[in-house]
Amino acid sequence: MYSIIILTVLGIIGMLGDMLPLKRLFLPVTLLGFALAWLGYFFEFPMHTSLFSFDLISMCFGGVMLVITGISVITVYGYGSFKHGSEPPYTVLALMIFATAGGLLMVAWSHLMMLFLAIEILSIPLYVLVGSQGDRKASQEASLKYFLLGAVASCIFLFGMALYYAGTGSFLLGAVHPHSLVGSAGVLLMIAGVCFKAGVVPFHSWVPDVYEGAPTVITGWMAALVKVAAFGALTKMVGSLSYSVWGLEVMGMAVLTMTLGNVLAVQQGSLKRLLAYSGIAHAGYMLLVFLPVTETSITTVFFYGASYALGTLGVFTVIHILEQSGLSATVDALRGLFKRNKTVTLLWCLSVLSLAGIPPLPGFFAKLLVLMHVVKAHHSGLLWVTFLNFLVGVYYYFRLILYPFTGGLSEESVVLSVWQKVGVVILLILTWGAVLFPEFLLSVF
Amino acid sequence: MMLFGMIATLAFPLIGFFLITLLGRVLPRPVGGWLACVSVAGAFISAGTVLLTCESSATIGLFNWFEVGNVSAHFSILVDSLSLWMSVMITGVGGLIHVYALGYMKDDVRLNSFFAYFNLFVFFMLVLVLSDSFLGMFIGWEGVGLCSYLLIGFWYETHAYAIAAKKAFVMNRIGDLGFLFAILMMLFFWGTTQFSVVFIQGLGLGAGVLTAMTMGLLIGAVGKSAQIPLFTWLPDAMAGPTPVSALIHAATMVTAGVYLIARSHVLFSGAPLTSLMVVGLGVATAVFGALVALVQRDIKKVLAYSTMSQLGYMVSAAGFGAYSAALFHMTTHAFFKALLFLAAGNVIHGLHGEQDIFKMGGLRKKLPFTFVVFLIGTLAIVGCPPFSGFFSKDAILAEAFAYSRTVFVVLCVVSVMSSFYMFRLLFLTFFGNARYGEKHPHEGALVMQIPLAILAVLATVGGCLDWPQESILTPVLGVTLVVLALSGGVAYFIFGKQVDVLAKQPVSMGYRMLWNKFYVDEVYQRIIVGPFLSLSRGLNQYFEIFLGKLDVVSLRSVRWVGYPFKKMQDGNSGTYILVMTVGILCLLVGLFL
Amino acid sequence: MILLGVILFPFLSAIVSFFLHSEKGSKAWALLSVFIEGFLVFFSAYLYSQAGYLSVEIPWIQTLGIHLHFGVRGFELWMMILSAVVPAMAVVSSSSKRANPGSYYGLLLGMQGALMGLFACANLFLFYIFWELSILPSFFLLMGWGGLRKEKTAVTYVVYSLAGSFALLAGLLYVFMSGGQVSVYGQMGVFILFFIAVAIKIPLWPFHSWQPDTYEQTDHATTMMVAGVLSKMGLLGILKVMLLFAPLGAVFSSDKVIGLAIVSILYGSSLALVQGHFKRVIAYSSLAHMGLMAASLFSGTSEGIQGSIFQMGSHALNVVGLIWIGHIIYERTGTLKLAELGGIRSRSPFLSAVFLVVILGSIGFPLTNGFVGETLMLFGLYSVHPLFAILAGLSLVLGAWYMMRLFQAVMLGKGNSNLPEFNLTWSERIGLGVIMVSIVGMGIFPQPFLDFVTPSSFKESDSSCTQ
């Protein structure tokens, strides 16, 4: 509970940010607050009530989300101070903090109603943030689309909850086994609702448009945070649900998701759309972890989420830096990056390689864990599909790596603000840390 | 003594090679040449000393080359009368040609590297004959091929010469592959290729295996000794400087095939099929070479085809078991063919590079010394008693008579032909009217004449080296003299008179066949080389491109898979909701499955 | 512990190198690094000759039971010596000015580290990691300093390489999951997966289509690395992984693999004959040579395997020599198209002599390093079936043909009248001299090298590989 409370307070401070004195203390206070919020877990660990359960899962996934938002806050703050003379966008920061609180709740519920609320708490700030670039039409359109589709998804989730209650008479998952058709349908609809957030086919349609429309700093943060939160929630859900009900359906969705993501990512010219589809593909890989749920599933999904978040944050930070230097976020904008800024190129390459799953970067361990899971489950067909998908993925990821080394559109070097530099360095350190000490993340569960 | 002598024999030319190569820039040019001559002379003296002093045969182990699993290879020197005699001959004839080359090559810019290659050649040739194993022999075998390559292409600036060198190397390699295959078989059966092991255990194998093994050796011999079908490189190899032709392509290297067959006669005696093939190929080559030599116009080409023909003689002799006769002929052939080539070199030298015999004539008076030695060489090669060729040919013919009448008759016919073309060559070059225009022929320097004189003496008396024991000498003597007189007369009648021979060119079908060497080169080009290169080009242009396109194709197919998905992503919220709804429906339908 | 030093040192000096900017400074650093690394490798070779087996083990990811476990036996050390020597040659031969020299040398050193790790690793997991790690630097080197068509080439290279890696990964996962004891059918499957991986890496026909372009487009140092060492990774994979974990697969399909390898030999030799670019000739000749080595690894005879391992070193030396000579020519004349070259022998007899010796080495001329290896390999193939030996032996003839064609086109003839002077620098003279002497030296005294890679060194299967 402490973490939620601290974040709420921080959010309120952020809302009032423009009016408060000692503005330069805002960033340190926020980061300190995040640290405290994570420490808060330890004071009440483990806590199980009828509404909440703060357990190891919520602590770990929450920690990752706090790190994601922490880094994003730094870069957003840095972006604000980059634009000469303008104030950091306190409102944006506050909304980010609120959404994070929602994210934390998504992995800390025990009552289905709480899950629904958490999803909404996460979503509503996102709708606003996606549209926060009011002068861009695409941003507004994306916001509206996201909102519309999100509303449909919420309805589906709610309907599923209702059916589940009708079938089992309970709002607690796993309390009663859903033998009934109605209960099973409810389970599926609830999974569908969460899958919408994760960007799983066929609930993925919003992803490319929203990723492209949203301001780039927000896109990266959102992509990482929502994926982790949604998969955290799914982990909590499916662990206590009968495999026979959703197993086949989820398998189908996983295959469709990774295939669609990769196949469409190959054809993209816009960086953000490409990464959106690649994010969809990653959601597909992560779904494989639940087929079936075993004791290693949590570790895998956690590690995968963390490495994906790290890679995504790195990639979007670079894209944002590119846009800041006056280029549009197309694949061609990457050309000549190597000559313009080597550190940024390094971050870009490491992040993309991590997403592509090249050893020894964390993305590789993540994929390895998934593959081991599939092999253990003896789904050989699934294994081949996964490998083919990896290969397609390699094709477009390496195209992304190739471009920085070719002749560029622009020759001028890329300049970063202090806080952006800090963000880049933190991301680099975290990536190398994950290379050298993957044990740290793998051994928690 | 023996150990020291043999090592010195091998070491002299090798040291010579290294010295000349390393100091090539520093040494004044003639010094490099003299150094080479001295080193070969040193080798000759040491080999000769061992030959004279040593009574029995022995093996001198040098060191282990490699030993892997069951396979082992050692470097050792085999000292017996054959190897010693071969090394004396190589270093002797080689030394004379070295000295001759001093004069012949004296104006060349790269004189030093010429002599370095020459020394290296002598070294590898010695390795070839002195090794006590087939692997060791193979070293020399390939080594002389390399030197032949370097020396044929010595004037590499000329494209055609470089091509000729490459052709010689590659065709030799075909033969080498056969040799190597035989070596692999030996290694497979005995784990070693030492003669001592191979020849003792060789007959223990079945005839089939022995046939395969000897076939490999035969292919090697065919490649090196320019027999049908791997002979086309030899005429082209005349691109090299004339001393090279004399040393490598007449006296020593090309006879290595005969040496190989003679050396491994134990194996051949166990494989009658291969022996038959040896005889067949040898006789065919003898006939072929003689036929083609009848009409050639290039003085060196005539000698080259004559060499081929004589090699056919020796090979066939080795095939029907007349090993000592073959080796005897090889020795005398080394004398008189080296003599002929060097004399031809004198002519070419005197005429400033002219090689067309139809543009010579009447040189008897201008080059009297050369004429005399050329005449001696001619009389020796046609087998006129008492010159050396008479005895060696007689030895072969005698054995051929015992082996098969057909072979005997054919070889006799070849002998007649060879006397015809040799006299033709002699008359066209030295008799008749002078057709060389404004040039002023002159004799070579003394340094070129002395080796010629020595070789002429050897070609004359070389027959004493091995007097045939069981001879049909008397009848043959008569027959030979008659044949010689006849063919010489015919040749003189056609070519010896003061007429413009160019006008008398018969242009019949048969002549054209002979003039174009039975179109063998063209046939090889059309049937083997051309199609093979076309196939490679085709693969390079089509198959490789196809493979290179595979990634594009797979990318297309990925796009094709993505097409329906792309349709769903039209940016319209209605479509999105529709997709979601259909998805939900599918999920729920799945529940009923 | 020295092993760890051998593996880590190149990585560390690579990181330092990335921060260097001047051409001279970074080259000096790279030189220093490769020589120290060479010293370390030779010192470990000395230790190996004393102890017989070097190993080090450090826990890394205990949850998955993955350790940093390195251990070397003779043939692995042989490959490590190779990957110490070839980068040294690559660095020494780099003389031209280029952009970002620090990054360039850093990537070279990084590749060296990856190769060291690959050759020294003692478990499958590390094998895979270093396998992939070795791809990245070559990709970046190709992208950063490649020729005009580098983009397409780089994509093809990476897609092929990673397709191979994924096949390797799938095979490794299968082995991993079955705890090292793979069933018969499983072994067949694993064998096929591993085969795809190594066939792309070696490469074997028809998986070679990435290779000619890569050779042509990469700059010379990268080509040296790819041709000299990276291609040997595949062969090492056969020895270290394939024969160990799928022995039955090897038993059942060795004939087919040998057949495919022989197709590579003949195909590569034939195509090398009609190439118009220096490096493409080398690429196709490598295809042929590597095919022979791969074939004899499957001969199942100790002679064939030992010959093949010996030949790995010889081939690396020869191909590095060829590429170096090509680079020297390219620097002087600005072209490597055969039609535009010629007559260089009269400009630089020394270069021509070295070129000839290297060619002799690569066509298996007696008394050069190529002969011993090729004879032993052909012997191995002969033991399987004489026909194999004959077909593979055809490469001797074809090899002589295309190599002499290359020699003739580059060195012989009149050449352009405006051919520049070929004043070789001292480093070039010494380097080429060393190559020439070692080619002949290895041909005359091969026994020490052959002893180094005795079959007993790879028969002891390392059970910890699966852990």
C461: left (phi over 0), alpha (psi -120 to 50) or beta: beta
Contact A274, A316 (CB under 8 A): no
Q: Is residue A291 part of a domain?
A: yes
Contact C54, C428 (CB under 8 A): no
Q: Is A426's pLDDT higher than 60?
A: yes
User: For A349-406, what is each residue's pLDDT tens digit?
Assistant: 999 999 998 888 999 999 989 988 888 888 888 888 998 899 888 888 988 988 888 7
- Separation between Cα atoms, residue A180 and residue C13, nearest integer Å: 65
Q: Which of A376, A395, A406 sits opposite C159 (nearest CB)?
A: A395
- Separation between Cα atoms, residue B263 and residue B140, nearest integer Å: 15
Domain that holds residue C297: 2-463
Q: What is the mean pLDDT of residues B411-420?
A: 88
Considering its fold, how many domains does chain A have in total? 1
Which residues, numbered 252 to 271 in chain B, qualify as contacts with chain C under a Cβ-Cβ cut-off of 8 Å? none
User: Would an 8 Å CB–CB cutoff place B549 in contact with chain C?
Assistant: no
Tell me, letter by letter, the H, E, C secondary structure of chain C: CHHHHHHHHHHHHHHHHHCCCCHHHHHHHHHHHHHHHHHHHHHHHHHHHHHCCEEEEEEEECCCCEEEEEEECHHHHHHHHHHHHHHHHHHHHCCCCCCCHHHHHHHHHHHHHHHHHHHHECCHHHHHHHHHHHHHHHHHHHHHHCCCCHHHHHHHHHHHHHHHHHHHHHHHHHHHHCCCCCCHHHHHHHHHHHHHHHHHHCCCCCCCCCHHHHHHHCCHHHHHHHHHHHHHHHHHHHHHHHHHHCHHHHHHHHHHHHHHHHHHHHHHHHHHCCCCEHHHHHHHHHHHHHHHHHHHHCCCCHHHHHHHHHHHHHHHHHHHHHHHHHHHHHHHHCCCEHHHCCCHHHHCHHHHHHHHHHHHHHCCCCCCHHHHHHHHHHHHHHHHCHHHHHHHHHHHHHHHHHHHHHHHHHHCCCCCCCCCCCCCCHHHHHHHHHHHHHHHHHHHCCHHHHHHCCCHHHHCCCHHHHC
Nearest CA in chain A to B593: A248
Q: Are residues C177 and A391, on separate chains, in Cβ contact within 8 Å?
A: no
Q: Is C391's pLDDT higher than 90?
A: yes
CA distance B493 to chain C (A): 44
Q: Is residue A20 part of a domain?
A: no
Q: What is the mean pLDDT of residues C424-434?
A: 91
Considering its fold, how many domains does chain C have in total? 1
User: Which of A364, A394, A440 to probe by mutation at the C interface, max C CB count within 10 Å?
Assistant: A394
User: Would an 8 Å CB–CB cutoff place C128 in contact with chain A?
Assistant: yes
Q: Is C465's pLDDT higher than 50?
A: no
User: Would an 8 Å CB–CB cutoff place C251 in contact with chain A?
Assistant: no
| Alpha helix positions (H), B367-493 | 368-382, 388-403, 405-430, 446-461, 473-491
User: For C232-254, what is each residue's pLDDT tens digit?
Assistant: 999 988 888 888 888 888 888 88
- Separation between Cα atoms, residue B144 and residue B131, nearest integer Å: 14
For residue B551, the model assigns a pLDDT of 75
Secondary structure (3-state) at A330: strand
| Alpha helix positions (H), B237-387 | 242-246, 256-263, 265-269, 272-293, 299-319, 323-350, 363-366, 368-382
N-term to C-term CA, chain A: 21
Pairing mode, if any, of strands A47-48 and A53-54? Answer: antiparallel
Q: Sort out which chain B residues have CB atoms less than 8 A from C375's CB and list them.
A: 135, 180, 183-184
Nearest CA in chain B to C401: B170
Q: How confident is the model at residue C461 (pLDDT cuts 50, 70, 90)?
A: very low
Contact C219, C154 (CB under 8 A): no
Q: Sort out which chain A residues have CB atoms less than 8 A from C169's CB and list them.
A: 368, 371
Nearest CA in chain C to A361: C129
Nearest CA in chain B to C158: B551
- Separation between Cα atoms, residue B490 and residue B483, nearest integer Å: 11
Please provide the average confidence, as pLDDT, over all residues in chain B. Answer: 87
CA distance C82 to chain A (A): 24
- Separation between Cα atoms, residue C295 and residue C155, nearest integer Å: 29
Q: Considering only CA atoms, which of A126, A272, A130, A143 is closest in space to residue A212?
A: A272
Query: Model's pTM, two decimal places?
Result: 0.91
Tell me, letter by letter, the H, E, C secondary structure of B338-351: HHHHHHHHHHHHHC
Q: Is residue A43 part of a domain?
A: no
Q: Which of A338, A376, A394 sits opposite C162 (nearest CB)?
A: A394
Secondary structure (3-state) at B298: strand
Q: Is residue A171 part of a domain?
A: no
CA distance B140 to chain A (A): 52
Q: Enter the tokens of residue A98.
A: 């609120």
For residue B144, the model assigns a pLDDT of 94
- Separation between Cα atoms, residue A148 and residue A127, nearest integer Å: 10
Q: Are residues B539 and C159, on separate chains, in Cβ contact within 8 Å?
A: no
User: Which of B557, B584, B585, B593 to probe by mutation at the A interface, max A CB count within 10 Å?
Assistant: B584
Nearest CA in chain A to C59: A439
- Separation between Cα atoms, residue A59 and residue A39, nearest integer Å: 9
Residue with tokens 């090249």: A358
Q: Is C463's pLDDT higher than 50?
A: no
User: Would an 8 Å CB–CB cutoff place C15 in contact with chain A?
Assistant: no
Q: Sort out which chain A residues have CB atoms less than 8 A from C162's CB and list them.
A: 390-391, 394, 398
Please provide the average confidence, as pLDDT, over all residues in chain C. Answer: 88
For residue C287, the model assigns a pLDDT of 93
User: Would an 8 Å CB–CB cutoff place B593 in contact with chain A?
Assistant: yes
- Separation between Cα atoms, residue B520 and residue B305, nearest integer Å: 14
CA angle B103, B104, B105 (to 5 degrees): 95
Secondary structure (3-state) at B356: strand
- Contacts of C251-257 with CB under 8 Å at 24 or more apart are C252/C188, C252/C191, C253/C188, C253/C191, C253/C195, C254/C298, C254/C299, C254/C300, C254/C384, C255/C384, C257/C195, C257/C294, C257/C295, C257/C298
User: Which of A212, A263, A278, A280 to probe by mutation at the B interface, max B CB count within 10 Å?
Assistant: A263
For residue C460, the model assigns a pLDDT of 43
For residue C459, the model assigns a pLDDT of 44
Q: Please give the share of chain A, as a percent, with pLDDT higher than 70.
A: 96
For residue B535, the model assigns a pLDDT of 93
Higher pLDDT, A254 or A22: A254
How many A×B Cβ pairs under 8 Å?
74
Contact A9, A29 (CB under 8 A): no
- Separation between Cα atoms, residue C144 and residue A437, nearest integer Å: 30
Q: Is B123's pLDDT higher than 90?
A: yes
Domain that holds residue A314: 242-445
Pairing mode, if any, of strands B58-68 and A47-48? Answer: unpaired
Q: Give the chains touching C; criterion: ≥3 Cβ pairs < 8 Å.
A: A, B
Q: Is B350's pLDDT higher than 50?
A: yes
- Separation between Cα atoms, residue C375 and residue B185, nearest integer Å: 11
For residue B228, the model assigns a pLDDT of 87
User: Which of C173, C193, C466 to probe by mutation at the A interface, max A CB count within 10 Å?
Assistant: C173
Q: What is the mean pLDDT of residues A98-113?
A: 93
Nearby residues of C126 by Cβ (< 8 Å), 6 or more positions away: C66, C68, C69, C70, C117
ipTM surpasses cut 0.95: no
State the Cα torsion B396-B398-B404-B408 to the nearest 10°: 70
Pairing mode, if any, of strands B71-79 and A47-48? Answer: unpaired
Q: Is residue A215 part of a domain?
A: no
User: For C253-286, what is each residue's pLDDT tens digit?
Assistant: 888 999 999 999 999 999 999 999 999 999 999 9
Other beta carbons within 10 Å of B360: 26
CA distance B63 to chain C (A): 10
User: For B510-531, what is each residue's pLDDT tens digit?
Assistant: 888 888 888 888 989 999 999 9
Q: Are residues A371 and C169, on separate chains, in Cβ contact within 8 Å?
A: yes
Q: Sort out which chain C residues have CB atoms less than 8 A from A296's CB and list them.
A: none
Nearby residues of C271 by Cβ (< 8 Å), 6 or more positions away: B536, B539, B540, B544, C284, C287
Q: How confident is the model at residue C464 (pLDDT cuts 50, 70, 90)?
A: very low
- Separation between Cα atoms, residue C83 and residue C320, nearest integer Å: 12
- Separation between Cα atoms, residue A18 and residue C451, nearest integer Å: 78
Q: Give the chains touching B; criterion: ≥3 Cβ pairs < 8 Å.
A: A, C
User: Would an 8 Å CB–CB cutoff place B143 in contact with chain C?
Assistant: yes
User: Would an 8 Å CB–CB cutoff place B174 in contact with chain C?
Assistant: yes
Which residues, numbered 160 to 179 in chain C, qualify as contacts with chain A under a Cβ-Cβ cut-off of 8 Å? 162-163, 166, 169-170, 173-174, 176-177
Q: How confident is the model at residue A81 (pLDDT cuts 50, 70, 90)?
A: low
Q: Is B119's pLDDT higher than 90?
A: yes
Q: Is A175's pLDDT higher than 70?
A: no
For residue A47, the model assigns a pLDDT of 82
Other beta carbons within 10 Å of C5: 15
For residue C185, the model assigns a pLDDT of 82
- Separation between Cα atoms, residue A215 and residue A131, nearest integer Å: 8
Q: Which of C128, C139, C144 sits opposite A359 (nearest CB)?
A: C128
The residues that bridge with C399 in the sheet, in sequence order, are: none
Other beta carbons within 10 Å of C33: 25
Q: Are residues C155 and A394, on separate chains, in Cβ contact within 8 Å?
A: no
Q: How confident is the model at residue C108 (pLDDT cuts 50, 70, 90)?
A: very high
Q: Enter the tokens of residue B547.
A: 């493979």
For residue C466, the model assigns a pLDDT of 41
Which residues, numbered 60 to 119 in chain B, qualify as contacts with chain C under a Cβ-Cβ cut-off of 8 Å? 64-71, 113
Q: Is C299's pLDDT higher than 70?
A: yes
Q: Please give the share of chain C, as a percent, with pLDDT higher than 70.
A: 97
CA distance B547 to chain A (A): 17
Q: Are residues B583 and A395, on separate chains, in Cβ contact within 8 Å?
A: no
Q: Is C200's pLDDT higher than 50?
A: yes
Exposure letters B159-191 (e unless 16+ CB within 10 A, then b): eebbbbbbbbbbbbbbbbbbbbbbbbbbbbbbb
Q: Are residues B580 and A263, on separate chains, in Cβ contact within 8 Å?
A: no
Q: Are residues B185 and C273, on separate chains, in Cβ contact within 8 Å?
A: no
For residue A85, the model assigns a pLDDT of 54
Q: Is residue A336 part of a domain?
A: yes
The residues that bridge with A172 in the sheet, in sequence order, are: A111
At residue A52, what are phi and psi to the nearest 5 degrees?
-115, 155
Q: Please give the share of chain B, as a percent, with pLDDT higher than 90.
A: 40
For residue B29, the model assigns a pLDDT of 76
Q: Sort out which chain B residues have CB atoms less than 8 A from C414's CB and list them.
A: 157, 159
Q: Is C462's pLDDT higher than 50?
A: no
- Separation between Cα atoms, residue A87 and residue A79, nearest integer Å: 10
The residues that bridge with B66 in the sheet, in sequence order, are: B73
Q: Enter the tokens of residue C410.
A: 């580059």
Nearest CA in chain B to A192: B584
- Separation between Cα atoms, residue A294 and residue A297, nearest integer Å: 5
Q: Sort out which chain A residues have CB atoms less than 8 A from C147's CB and list them.
A: none
Which residues, numbered 33 to 92 in chain C, qualify as contacts with chain A under a Cβ-Cβ cut-off of 8 Å? 60-64
Nearest CA in chain A to B582: A202
State the Cα torsion B302-B303-B306-B307 to the nearest 10°: -140
Residue with tokens 């066209």: B428
